Amino acid sequence: MSEYYNAKRIKNIYDPKSSRPYKLSRTRIDLYVQCPRCFYLDRRLGVDRPPGYPFALNSAVDALLKKEFDLLRASKKPHPLMKKYGVDAIPAQHEQLNEWRENFKGVKYHHKPTNLIITGAIDDLWVNTDGEYHVVDYKSTSKNEDIVALDKEWQNGYKRQMEIYQWLIRHNGYKVSDTGYFVYCNGKTNLAKFEGKLEFDITLIAYKGSDGWVEGTIREVHECLNSDDIPAAGDDCDYCSYREAVDDVTKDM
């Protein structure tokens, strides 16, 4: 068993009787959207889904992109990618950017009607000549196709991610453009040889977000957390399907 996975924990569990604010990350909100049952088992009962393997190469790409954009942030110059795609912006200099980027910290907002502290760690922030911030997210993959749009169903989670970030920064009092950007790095596999390095095609995908769903979903999440009833599984939840299949084959054993 992984030393990092605790199948039944006793910490970070929501207590309906507590008056203390409860921290909830944007990934947990997305878990609720995917499957209310998995969300409830995790946040109310302390049984999370088994973790996936860490994407170390993706993390390396993220770290290097941040360094690259930070060099231009210091000099207040646009990145060549911005020029290529006609984006009228530069990497933003913001006093909270380092904290907003940090996992387990991120952008925070205390949603007082539910007493939930919503958090999310962004990758980057750009600012245009009108003083609006653009939320930027880095993505990396390796596919034998050009990536020019977020048109796959599984990429809807990326869109929700962007919209929660936009909602968070707006609720911290900043002017945020509806248009966010995905810096998408696609690893090339058609090269003649490896030579100890990976090369990427990098595209910039603009996405016009709409965060109108976030407020209502936070209230739904709060209602779910305060219920004593385990909710129904989400559509096509592989984890719930697996649990139900195990229960089915073992019930008479």
Mean pLDDT of 128-157: 93
3-state secondary structure of 222: helix
Total domain count, the chain: 1
Q: How far is Cα 87 from Cα 38, in angstroms, rounded to an integer?
A: 40
- Provide the token pair at 60: 């390396």
Q: How far is Cα 175 from Cα 177, in angstroms, rounded to an integer?
A: 7
Its domain, for residue 194, covers 22-250
The answer to whether 44 and 233 have CB atoms below 8 angstroms apart is no
Q: Tens of pLDDT along 165-222?
A: 999 999 999 999 999 999 999 999 988 999 898 899 999 999 999 999 999 999 999 9
Q: Tens of pLDDT along 208-248?
A: 999 999 999 999 999 999 999 999 999 999 999 999 999 99
The angle formed by the CA atoms of residues 18, 218 and 207, to the nearest 5 degrees, is 145
Residue 1 pLDDT grade (very low, low, confident, very high; cuts 50, 70, 90): very low
On whether residue 10 sits in a domain, the answer given is no
On whether residue 4 sits in a domain, the answer given is no
- The CATH number linked to 132 is 3.90.320
On whether residue 16 sits in a domain, the answer given is no
Please state the pTM of the whole predicted model.
Answer: 0.94
Q: By percentage, how much of the chain surpasses pLDDT 90?
A: 84
The answer to whether 112 and 57 have CB atoms below 8 angstroms apart is no
**DSSP letter, residue 205:** E
The answer to whether 163 and 217 have CB atoms below 8 angstroms apart is no
Mean of the per-residue pLDDT values for the chain? 94
On whether residue 47 sits in a domain, the answer given is yes
Cβ atoms < 10 Å from Cβ of 123: 18
On whether residue 177 sits in a domain, the answer given is yes
